[in-house]
Amino acid sequence: MKKVACMLISVAAVSLMAADGEAIYKSKCFSCHGDKASKAALNKSQIIAGWDVSKIVGSVNGYKNGEGGPMKNVMKPIATALSDDDLKAVATAIASYK
Ligand code: HEC
């Protein structure tokens, strides 16, 4: 029973965070990745709209660890500034952009 309650709470938390993710996207990502993540950031990145949450999280965490493409230094400070919760929320928002 305890486990079920936990799962319900985390589902509720995820849907609350999805709203936040939208706000985080607009304030921190929109300027480069464009409306609904539909642009190549600085004409260099892949178009990330509709990527799986896990792919976005993995890729942003990669930047924290110094991985990434030729423009990775642009993403590193942005990635480092995001908490895990904020990253999950913004990734959920981006995954919903199709
Ligand atoms: C200052 C411009 C800028 C901002 C702001 C920005 N990005 Fe990026 N992003 C880039 C660039 C440039 C790349 C390509 C980097 C590289 O060469 O790996 C990129 C790559 C990415 C990638 C991987 C795509 C790929 O090509 O592999 C993801 C995922 C991503 N950004 C997510 C985000 C998220 C989430 C935010 C907001 C929290 C954000 N970005 C904000 C410029 C930006």
Distance 41 CA to ligand 1 centre (A): 6
> Whose CA is closest to atom 39 on ligand 1?
29
pLDDT in tens, 42-81: 999 999 999 999 999 999 999 999 999 999 999 999 999 9
- C-alpha 55/C-alpha 28 separation (Å) is 19
The three-state secondary structure class of 47 is coil
Q: What is the model's pTM?
A: 0.86
Q: Does residue 79's CB lie within 6 angstroms of at least one atom of ligand 1? A: no
Structure tokens that stand for 52 in this block: 């799986």
Instruction: Please report which confidence band the pLDDT of residue 18 belongs to, taking 50, 70 and 90 as the band edges.
Output: very low
* Domains defined for the chain, CATH in brackets: 2-96 (1.10.760.10)
